[in-house]
Amino acid sequence: MIWQTECTLSLLARHYRTLFRTCARCSSLDVGKKLHASIVTTGLVTCQNTFLRNAILHMYAACGSVLYARKVFDEIPLSYKDTVDWTTLMGCYARGGFPLDGLNLFVHMRKSDVLIDEYTMVVVFLASAKMGCEQFGVQGHGCMVKMGFSSSIKACNAVMDMYVKCGLIDKTRRIFSEMGEKSVVSWTVFLGGVVKWEGFENARLLFDKMPERNEVAWTVMIAAYIENGLTKEAFGLLREMLFESGFELNFVTLSSLLSACAQSGNVLVGKWVHVYALKMIEHEIDIVVATTLINMYAKCGSIDDAFRVFLVMPRRNVITWNAMLSGLAMQGKGDMVLDLFGQMIREVKPDDVTFTAILSACSHAGLVDQGRHFFYSLELTYGIKPSIEHYSCVVDLLGRAGYLEEAESIIRGMTIPPNEVVLGSLLGSCSVHKNLELGECLIKELVQMYPDNTKYHVLLSNMYSLAGKNDKANSIRVVLRSRGVRKVPGISSIYVGGQIHCFSAGDRLHLQSQEIYMMLDEMIRKIRLAGYAPDTACQKFSESDDGDYYGFGQEEKEQALFSHSEKLAVCFGLISTQAGMPIYIFKNLRICQDCHSAMKIVSKVYNREIVIRDRNRFHRFKLGSCSCFDYW
């Protein structure tokens, strides 16, 4: 009878371990919790030598449930924990957004004299990469060498990936060159690092030397071409990958390419990828791919296409809803965002990103009362503690509308220290509403926090100039010049003929520069007749484009304004596209007041829709007006 009981327990424990492994593979957390509860209530979990807690630990870790995984880990006696258990919990921490806890667990693991293996080192480098902590990564590299794992391809690949993400490409190259045996993953990791830190030209040289290429390597190279506006080269590699090398695009590669299109604004390749997904994927498009499609169309300015993808999706998760809300927010469609949120809460539970999108939409659309309501309801109604992003959005919302005292009061009452985005947002509002006293106070705080960031000095200099305090403005400029300050240049990009064309202020490097400036002269003449007046007051010392206009005469200031990057880009669009075609421009900085005024008139004079995506939002100019209604 004793033998039969032990045999039954052993079979039952083995059966439960199999079930827990199945839950881990399928990420079935709810089922796993029920199984866990059943063995606790029956007492089976306390039986010796069943190793059930170990199986439960792995199930919770695979499902990303960090708190439950840690609780079960602590319940396992030290003598029953092996290297795999420690490594599993470390990986759960690293992937679950708690990399520091994972690294602390590694330290505890070493103090407990638990053996480490190559997989442990892989997780150490993963956690270091997540933190961007090169110090711990370098120490981990030393530990890897001392423990004799330098010949492990997996460990070397992981340490290279860590160095790439920490920006240490020279260390990555050294490890790669010292590896006796390299896998295709080794080549791909190094390729990704070269693309990121040395440019696509060097990456292409390495890509051509690869003895073997996987889907990831092809995707990295194609995405690099897309991000740099080389559409023809991207299509050439796509054709070679699909038709000559026999690979197919899976949901991971599709998502990566679409993300590259979103970043660069390349809707041409994005639409091709969309069509490919519809033709090649027999069942419904993966929810991740569909969500990335929404993000791509939204960031490329095709918000109607984004909404069509959203509407036909049979299933939507909170990330999908957030992508749609964020896209609408960038377009300034605040009322539509609020209407859609009402539908969302009937389908999924909103998260912190949802409310960042909502507050941003309210800010762009001037919906002050609605934005206030959501911000003050965050914790009470939705159980979400305000994040730095929420504070930044609500300060921007109130500041734009002129409620500077309320915005300052919110900052002073923050439960977390304000960062430069929060303070800088209020400073920008002080500039708009000419509150010099508050602006000076904010500058002092920002200088203490970020002494090397000079863009706020530039803003204060402009505020002094507009207030007639030229002596103070000039003293700031003298300091900036003595420190060799160079502002980030404004770059405007436009896609024509499948290629990207980039312009900076006063740029004459384009092959069609002569035609562009001829069109610029014509355009300025026509819009002046239609009522355009150059606004030199907004360009004392500008962040929007290169050029310090201090010391210039009125005519020189006007000429500098005329050659701003977005004006050059729109002129190129006018001479390079058919009449009546929309013109899409992407700018790395905020559009200036003068260009904003000019674009409204250009859209009317030339009967063109002009869409400009700047650093903050979209501006859609049509028939003499802008979608932002001049509230930006």
> How buried is 624 (Cβ within 10 angstroms: 0-12 exposed, 13-18 middle, 19+ buried)?
middle
Instruction: Output the pLDDT for position 587.
Output: 92
Q: Count Cβ atoms within 10 A of the Cβ of residue 150 and give its class: 0-12 exposed, 13-18 middle, 19 or more buried.
A: middle
CA distance 13 to 55: 10
Q: What whole-number distance in Å separates Cα of residue 323 and Cα of residue 303?
A: 11
Q: CA geometry: angle at 223 spanning 222 and 225, to 5°?
A: 65
Point out the residues of the chain with pLDDT beneath 50: 1-4, 541-550
Q: How many whole angstroms separate alpha carbon 147 and alpha carbon 149?
A: 6
User: Which is it for the CA torsion 13, 14, 19, 25, positive or negative?
Assistant: positive
Residues 6 or more apart whose CB falls under 8 angstroms from that of 601 comprise 527, 530, 531, 532, 624
> Please, are residues 492 and 587 in contact by the beta-carbon 8 Å criterion?
yes
Question: For residue 172, what are the CA distances in angstroms to 162, 169, 182, 198, 231?
Answer: 9, 5, 13, 12, 29
Q: Which amino acid is at 3?
A: W
- Given a contact cutoff of 8 angstroms between Cβ atoms, the answer to whether 154 and 148 are in contact is no
- Determine the pLDDT at residue 453: 65
Pairing relationship of beta strands 583-587 and 491-496 according to DSSP bridges: antiparallel
Report the alpha-carbon distance of residue 602 to residue 380 in Å, rounded. 48
Joined tokens for residue 50:
């069943």
Question: Using an 8 Å Cβ cutoff, are 39 and 52 in contact?
Answer: yes
492's CB contacts (< 8 A; 6+ apart) are 502, 503, 504, 565, 566, 568, 569, 585, 586, 587, 612
pTM for this one?
0.78
- Report how far residue 257's alpha carbon sits from residue 247's, in angstroms, rounded to the nearest whole number: 15
What is the rounded CA–CA span in Å between residue 428 and residue 406? 15
Pick from 178, 117, 173: nearest CA to 143: 117
End-to-end CA distance of the chain: 81
- pLDDT of amino acid 593: 87
CA–CA distance, 305 with 499 (Å, rounded to integer):
22
| Alpha-carbon gap, residue 44 to 596, rounded angstroms | 71
Q: How many CB atoms neighbour CB 38 within 10 A?
A: 13
Q: Any bridge partners for residue 495, and if so which?
A: 500
> What pLDDT is recorded for position 596?
93
Residues 6+ apart with CB under 8 A from 77: none
